[in-house]
A and B are shown apart, each in its own frame.
Chain A
Amino acid sequence: MKKWTKKLWLLFTAMKTGLILLGLTALLSGIGTFVSEDVYALVWLKLLFGLLCINLIVCSISRFNSAVKRSFHPQIPRNIHAVPQRINYSVTGNSSELRQQLENVLNTRGYRLDMAETTDGWAFTALKHRMGYWGSYIVHIAFVLIVIGVMMGAWGFSGGFMGLSGDTVKFNDINFNKGSADKGYSVRINAIEDRYLANGERDNWYTNISIIQSGRELATGTLSVNHPFKYDGVYYYQSKYADYAFISVELDGRKISSMIPLGLTADASTAKTDFHYRLPQKIQNSLYVKGLKLQNRPVVYLQVYGTGDKDALLQLTPGQSEFVFNQYKITLENLTNATGLQVKYDPGVPVVWLGCGMLLLGLILSFYWRPLLVSGVFLEKGQTGTLSMGMSMGKMAKPNEIEFSNILEALLSS
């Protein structure tokens, strides 16, 4: 059992495992974009993310001690062989003078210096930007935090509804496609507006709502796209907007009323093309209609279909009537609009944002706060001696070489 545990531990601490899991997750995610969104609900993808998180957690645990050691207790070299060799230089001089100069130069450049006496001299290690060692650690924990935040979303709920101005919807009657909720209040739609700017461009869709309980207004506010309304931890988003026409069809003294959804059209010339994208709605036996509203104007175009190949195009304003096929009197009674609101509560969102913030912090520390480690050994020979010092290569040799030359230049000129 212990052998298996050790094998499993080694497997999950291996960077190769992480790379393979990253690759598989990327592959499966890519397949989902071609095949179907259902791929993302598959157990396999969730399992992959779970394994990736385990890999990240295990890697973080296994590397914790070494991160602490490197950042807070960097090892002072005991002999010349422990000094970095690739970026290296030797200086000969007086022990106390050299030591003082070295201390001055390194302290001025922001290094934390640790010195120790050895049997034949002294040695040092100097570290700058030590928090950089924690960068990748924080990135890994951040990713796990994000996944935890996503999982916490399962405790929330999400749904939506369409409503006309004046409608009041009980919160518990809202159609939730995920989770469920039990709230004792209702949502009243006070006003809906499709607002246009002076230059004719659409500004936004606005919905003014109130939260009502036992006849009392608990809160009120206006929401629009990109500007949700929040109450009781629940967010209300402007997700849809639709224009509707109330029309009546009169035949032989009988009147039938219908509500027709309307598309938008820029002007009369584009209406013909825009009708292609509309689905006909049955308003009476053998009578179908498609509707368009002129952008930013209370003008409606109706394409009416009768039996056979008969069709007619009407342009109406509210209150106007026209006859079609010498039989039917069609009246545009009124125009109205409906708003579509998405209702959502997700307790995991703050955790996801925390994870994102930590991810950015970790990347900054990892990439832009690279630890710089200089160490050296001074071997005494009577009054003088030789200081052999070097700098660790890190992830990028060139910038470290430049930093080391700057230190040397300052040391030799002081």
Chain B
Amino acid sequence: MNQLQSLESYSFYLTVIAYFLAMMVYWIRMGSKNKAVGKVAAVLAVIGWAGNTITLITRTMLAHRLPLSNGYEFILTFCWATVLILLYYEFRFKLKALGAFVMPVPFLLLAFIVMTMGANERIIHAIPPALKSYWLTFHVITAIFSYGGFAVSFGLAIMYLIKTQTGTNPNVGIVARFPEAEVLDELCYKVIIFAFSFLTLVIITGAIWANYAWGTYWSWDPKETWSLITWFIYAGYLHARLMYDWKGKRAAWLAVFGFAAVLFTFFGVNYLLPGLHSYA
């Protein structure tokens, strides 16, 4: 048991360090023409993700359940999903610069754990009766993939905005290494489709579970409400993209704004607006 606890702790810190180094090397890669730097960044991200996976597996073994029941566990799995989706898009579409804009998200989240969460929040606690349901697994797993996808779409939107910034020559400097603006726009749309589908599942599974647990599928709880607001924002993005003059920059800003809503749904609601959904 002690060995597993030590392994969880070591792998957690390995993850933090690897994500930090990956982020720094991705940034260096933006200014460097050396392709090897990009490979190092990707390898560090993979190492961090492996550490993240080990942390989650050891925690599962210690707790005898999936690590999905409090803020600490949710952040760990959120980071895991974000980096997984990032690595998929990086390798599939050869987007070497994407890591520079997405990697800060999981690193900052883990830094938040290190700086603000005491040992008590990281200890494995028994879960209350309200969380003892199979719906917990469906609901939280769809949430991590949804949020992870939105984090990657945020990175793509930022790249698009930088690429198309007025006065910037898209064929010179760091920006020249970004894919074409049209490609970035389309990829961002693709990722948001993926993440939006999962967000819809998050809301629906949450409603079904709430109906079983509390007898009401919707109670305007701050977490529920902000998930719905996030859903509205991205629904707006998907519609706006179909309108000719909303494609491109305006759509990218909506994607950035949408991710701000995602962050508020997690952090803002947890720390500013307590409610019934006070678990994670």
> Residues of A with Cβ closer than 8 Å to B?
15-16, 18-19, 22-23, 25-26, 29-30, 32-34, 37, 40, 150, 158, 201-205, 224-228, 235, 237-239, 342, 344, 349, 352-353, 356, 359-360, 363-364, 367, 395-398
User: Counting CB contacts under 8 A, is B217 at the interface?
Assistant: yes
B194-221 residues with Cβ-Cβ distance < 8 A to A are: 196-197, 200-201, 204, 207-209, 211-218, 220
Chain A positions within 8 Å of B200 at CB level: 359-360, 363
Pick the contact of A226 from B132, B186, B216, B220 — CB < 8 Å?
A: B132
The answer to whether B226 and A33 have CB atoms under 8 Å apart is: yes
Chain B 208-245 per-residue mask, 1 if CB under 8 angstroms from chain A, else 0: 11011111111010100110110011011001111100
- Distance between B123 CB and nearest chain A CB, rounded to angstroms: 13
A–B complex contacts, Cβ < 8 Å, 25 sampled: A15-B239, A15-B243, A22-B236, A23-B232, A26-B232, A29-B220, A30-B225, A33-B226, A33-B273, A37-B220, A158-B216, A201-B126, A202-B126, A203-B132, A226-B129, A226-B130, A226-B213, A228-B215, A237-B213, A353-B208, A356-B204, A360-B200, A360-B204, A395-B242, A398-B186
Which B residues lie at the A interface, using CB under 8 A?
A: 126, 128-130, 132-133, 135, 182-183, 186, 189-190, 193, 196-197, 200-201, 204, 207-209, 211-218, 220, 222, 225-226, 228-229, 232-233, 235-236, 239-243, 269, 273
Q: Is the CB of A227 within 8 A of B212?
A: yes
- Among B132, B204, B228, point to the contact of A225 (Cβ < 8 A): B132
Contacts of B273 in A (CB 8 A): 33-34
A237 proximity list for chain B (CB < 8 A)? 213-215
Residues of chain B lying within 8 A (CB to CB) of residue A397: 182, 186
Tell me whether B226 and A224 are in contact (CB under 8 A): no
Which residues does chain A contribute within 8 Å of B239, judged by CB atoms? 15, 18-19, 22
CB pair B236–A203 under 8 Å, yes or no, is no
Chain B residues with CB under 8 Å of A150's CB are 218
Extra contacts, 14 of them, besides A18-B239, A226-B130, A367-B197 (Cβ < 8 A), are: A26-B228, A26-B232, A30-B229, A33-B269, A225-B213, A226-B213, A239-B214, A363-B196, A364-B197, A367-B196, A395-B189, A396-B186, A397-B182, A398-B183
Complexed CA–CA distance, A349 and B204 (Å): 12
Closest 3 CB pairs of A and B: A201-B126, A225-B129, A237-B215
**In whole Å, how far is B225's beta carbon from the nearest beta carbon of chain A?**
5
Nearest CB of chain A from residue B264's CB, rounded to whole Å: 9
For B183, the closest partner residue in chain A by CB is A398
- The reply to whether B215 and A158 contact each other, CB–CB distance below 8 Å, is yes
How far is it, in angstroms, between the C-alpha of A344 and the C-alpha of B212 when the chains are bound?
11
Taken together as a complex, chains A and B put the C-alpha atoms of A25 and B211 apart, in Å, by: 24
Chain A residue with Cβ nearest B246: A19
A203 touches B129 (CB 8 A): yes
A25 to B186, CA, bound (A): 28
Given A19-B239, A33-B226, A367-B193, verify A342-B214 contact (CB < 8 Å): yes
Say yes or no: A19 contacts B236, CB within 8 Å. yes
A226-B136 Cα distance, complex, nearest whole Å? 11
Q: Given that A19-B240, A33-B226, A360-B200 are known contacts, is A26 also in contact with B233, CB under 8 Å in the complex? A: yes
A226 to B229, CA, bound (A): 27
Nearest-neighbor residue (CB-CB) of B93 within chain A: A398
Closest to A197 in B: B126
- A359 and B212: CB pair below 8 A? no
Instruction: Give the docked Cα–Cα distance between A204 and B240 (Å).
Output: 47
Query: A239 contacts which chain B residues (CB < 8 A)?
Result: 214-215
Task: Say how far B19's CB is from chain A's closest CB, in angstroms.
Answer: 30
| Chain A positions within 8 Å of B193 at CB level | 367
Once A344-B215, A398-B186 are accepted as A-B contacts, the answer to whether A356 and B207 lie under 8 Å apart by CB is yes
* CB-CB nearest in chain A for B272: A34
Cβ–Cβ < 8 Å partners of B132 in chain A = 203-204, 225-226
Closest to A353 in B: B208
For the complex, give the distance between the alpha carbons of A34 and B217 in Å: 21
- A30, chain B: closest CB distance, angstroms: 5
Question: B120 → chain A, closest Cβ, in Å?
Answer: 13
Q: Which residues of A contact B196 (CB under 8 A)?
A: 363, 367
Q: Identify the closest chain A residue to B189 (Cβ).
A: A396
Partner of B128, one of A30, A202, A224, A227: A202
Beta-carbon contact of B129 and A29 below 8 Å: no
Q: Are B225 and A342 in contact (CB under 8 A)?
A: no
CB distance from A148 to the nearest CB of B (A): 14
In the assembly, what is the distance between CA of A224 and CA of B128, in Å? 12
Task: Check if B225 sits within 8 Å of A29, measured CB to CB.
Answer: yes
Chain A residues near B220 (CB, 8 Å)? 29, 32, 37, 40
Given the complex, which residues of B lie within 8 Å of A204, measured CB to CB?
129, 132
Q: Which residues of A contact B235 (CB under 8 A)?
A: 22
**A344 contacts B130, C-beta separation under 8 Å:** no
B240 surroundings in chain A (CB, below 8 A): 19
A203 to B228, CA, bound (A): 32
Residues of B near A203 (CB, < 8 A) are 129, 132
A29 and B214 in contact, given A205-B129, A360-B201 (Cβ under 8 angstroms): no
Residues of B within 8 A of A360 (CB): 200-201, 204
Q: How far is the CA of A23 from the CA of B214 in the complex (A)?
A: 29
Given known pairs A239-B214, A367-B193, A396-B190, the reply for A29 and B204 (CB within 8 Å) is no
- C-alpha spacing A239/B276, complex, angstroms: 12
Central interface residue in B183, B217, B235, by most chain A CB within 10 Å: B217
- List the B side residues contacting A19 at CB < 8 Å: 236, 239-240
* List of A residues within 8 angstroms of B243 by Cβ: 15-16
Q: Give B125's nearest chain A residue, CB to CB.
A: A201
